[in-house]
Amino acid sequence: MKWPLMHNNISRSDADAIVNFLSQDPLPILTNSSKVREFEAKWGEWLGAKYNVMVNSGSAANELSLLYLKYMFPEGGEVIVPPMAWISDVAAILQNGLTPVFCDIKLNNLALNIEEIKKKITSKTKAILLIHILGYNGLSDELLQICKDKNILLIEDVCESHGATFKGQKVGTFGDISNFSFYYAHHMTSIEGGMISTNNHDIYQLIRAFRSHGMLRETTDEGFKNKVLKEYPDLNKDFVFLEAAHNFRSTEINAVLALNQIKSLDKNNKTRAENLDIFLDNLNSDKFFVDFDRQGNSNYAFTLILKNPDWNLRNNVETALHNASIEFRRGLAGGGNQLRQPYLRKKFKNEYLNFPMTDHCHNFGWYIGNYPELPKERITELTSIVNSLSS
């Protein structure tokens, strides 16, 4: 079949937009400037968020969101996060001196299990890092109420779920901060890139500074600037660093590509969701888990999970996919259970055994590329292949 994880995510129209931008005379500014600001505004309009800061990757967005927590809680604290995550979710917690508290997932949306969250909240809990995995919505009214009642920050990682909705509203607009990725294989791309979105003015001001070395001059709130300068009168106002931050600025070229890509985002998401319906409706529900919550999904990749643990069937699935030249990734998002990875095994030892749903996906789950140009008949060919397998 020659079925890659992603196909043609950068079009000739995208390339032409970049060429036209670079053909200007005189040559435009190429670092973070007017096109980045234009895309931030366009993204905010599309998403429904007041404030948006473009960065150079989704991982950078994760890092800055957790740096905000470090800034607000220098004494440290706990962040609830699923082991089913991309490494940057967990790394950002660790690198900012916070403590990850792992919480298992539910299979129906691959997101944090609310009943498990309740068990993990303590007086030290500063935030819940909710990851919307592979296009599924992970929000619930109960989770939002818990965050409100207990004054816990909600950070939404939406890197794999652009356009997914909860009750008709886009995810990434419910939490205090939300993070997006524009990596090549995602719903839309700027080659490399990311976005931090928020409706909180104070968070926005700090994230603007954190994106550029923590420099105060990057903020736009003159009252905040004057307050800090009054506190540190011995400093040159152009070089005041609020936090030990980073250079995570994007470039104008990334923004030009993103501005062209966003035009097709809604249409492409609709096609992706239709493709997922075909895939799940044709899977053998005796062998594979199909009871996903599809409401409001913007599927990023087909989720194939064995209904029951079966090592022989797992191996046969992978052999069949290899033989059909269908690219896949076992473990679903991030390669599965992060607690099994060397960087966490050193600290958490065998704790990975305590998360059965995550571990089931780690061993018996895969994702397969879903993109707008995918012929519908290929989807049913795929389901026929895996349905025919046995242990």
Label each residue of 56-102 as H, E or C. CCHHHHHHHHHHHHHHHCCCCCEEEECCECCHHHHHHHHHCCCEEEE
**Predicted pLDDT at 190:** 96
Query: How many beta carbons lie within 10 A of that of residue 33, not counting itself?
Result: 15
Pairing of strands 194-198, 165-166: unpaired
Strand partners of residue 366: 304, 330
Residue range(s) of every CATH 3.90.1150.10 domain in the chain: 265-387
CATH number corresponding to 265-387: 3.90.1150.10
Q: pTM for this one?
A: 0.97
The backbone torsions φ and ψ at residue 181, rounded to the nearest 5 degrees and listed phi first, read -125, 140
Ranges under pLDDT 70 in the chain? none
Residue range(s) of every CATH 3.40.640.10 domain in the chain: 12-262
**Predicted pLDDT at 8:** 80
Assign residue 335 a region (left: φ > 0; alpha: ψ between -120 and 50; beta: otherwise).
Answer: left
Amino acid at 139: L
Residue bearing tokens 């053998």: 284
Please give the distance of CA 247 from its chain centroid, rounded to a whole number. Answer: 20
Closest CA to 114 of 161, 146, 137: 146
In this structure, what token pair is assigned to residue 255? 């923004």
How far is residue 368's CA from residue 172's CA, in Å, rounded to a whole number? 24
**Predicted pLDDT at 352:** 95
**Predicted pLDDT at 1:** 76
Query: How many beta carbons lie within 10 A of that of residue 116, not counting itself?
Result: 17
Strand partners of residue 169: 166
Per this entry, what is the length of the chain? 391
**Predicted pLDDT at 113:** 98
Strand partners of residue 52: 197
How far is residue 343's CA from residue 348's CA, in Å, rounded to a whole number? 9
* Each residue's pLDDT tens digit, 64-91: 999 999 999 999 999 999 999 999 999 9
**Predicted pLDDT at 361:** 98
How far is residue 348's CA from residue 317's CA, in Å, rounded to a whole number? 31
- Return the percentage of the chain with pLDDT > 90, whole number: 96
Burial of 109 (0-12, 13-18, 19+ CB in 10 A): buried
Query: How many beta carbons lie within 10 A of that of residue 226, not counting itself?
Result: 11
CATH fold of 12-262 reads Aspartate Aminotransferase; domain 2 (3.40.640)
Strand partners of residue 154: 128
Which string of b and e fits 274-309 if b means at least 16 CB within 10 Å?
Answer: ebbebbbebbeeebbbbebebebbbbbbbbbbbbee
* C-alpha dihedral sign at 254, 259, 260, 265: positive
Closest CA to 260 of 31, 21, 72: 21
* Each residue's pLDDT tens digit, 19-43: 999 999 999 999 999 999 999 999 9
Angle at 334 between CA 97 and CA 272, to 5 degrees: 130
Please give the distance of CA 330 from its chain centroid, rounded to a whole number. Answer: 18
